[in-house]
Structure 1
Amino acid sequence: MGIFTKAKETVPCTVEVSHRFESLHAHVRFDNGAVVYPGDEVLVHGAPILAAFGDVIVERRNATITRATRLERWWTRATGDFGFMELCEFSFSEELLA
């Protein structure tokens, strides 16, 4: 991996989407043990997975990992804490909007 070049790798993965009262999540696990580092991008191939309420769907797919350049990785680490603060600007509420 160079300072300005991006590497891509295609990896097998397992996607789990849960739409249940006790758990609302979507997880991707790389079946070959690949690791994603700061600044890397992941694109899971295939149609969107839409789970109805009460369902958990597990599918095997392929994903493309685009590795960040050294400069992008450094920048992501340097500014990552600021991005986290954006997550603090919303909350979940039981109120319904009219």
Structure 2
Amino acid sequence: MIRPRAFTVPCRIAIEQSAAHFHAHVELDGDLAVEPGDRVRVHGDPVRVPFGESAVFERTATVVRAGPLLRAWTRAVAYLGLTELYEVSFTSGSLR
């Protein structure tokens, strides 16, 4: 059996919580691409950012690469989930 490949990498977490922006982004060092099925776990204590502020934290993250079967399964499930967004109507004429 082929096991997923796991490794630890430094990362940067940028968090902002304001009226204009509400986001948390994780950037892995070395411009590592995260592919479908891969898992990323950021290590460290939970962080809180008060409303109206932003903060940047340096942490480490463990990346577990998905195997070929899990990667294919994730892509298939994502594609099928996308079809739920299609709106299909069998009525004659437009909806008002």
Same structural fold, with TM-score higher than 0.5 when normalized by the shorter chain: yes
- TM-score with structure 1 length normalisation? 0.78
* Letter of the 2:16 counterpart: S
Count residues in correspondence. 85
Alpha-carbon displacement from aligned partner over 1:19-65 (angstroms, at most 9, x marks no partner): 11100000001122211000000000001111110110101110000
Kindly report structure 1 stretches of 4+ aligned residues shifted beyond 2 Å: 81-87
Match of 1:33 among 24, 31, 34: 31
Whichever of the two has the greater Rg, that structure is 2
The two structures, once aligned, show a CA RMSD in angstroms of 1.9
Q: Runs of 5+ in structure 1 lacking a partner?
A: 88-98
In 2 relative to 1, CA 47–85 (structure 1 residues): closer, same or farther, beyond 3 Å? farther
Q: Percent identity?
A: 41
Q: Say whether residues 1:79 and 2:81 are aligned partners.
A: no
In 2 relative to 1, CA 71–48 (structure 1 residues): closer, same or farther, beyond 3 Å? same
* Letter of the 1:61 counterpart: R
* SS of equivalent residue, structure 2 residue 24: strand
Distance in structure 2 (CA, Å) of the matches to 1:26 and 1:15 = 7
In 2 relative to 1, CA 64–86 (structure 1 residues): closer, same or farther, beyond 3 Å? farther
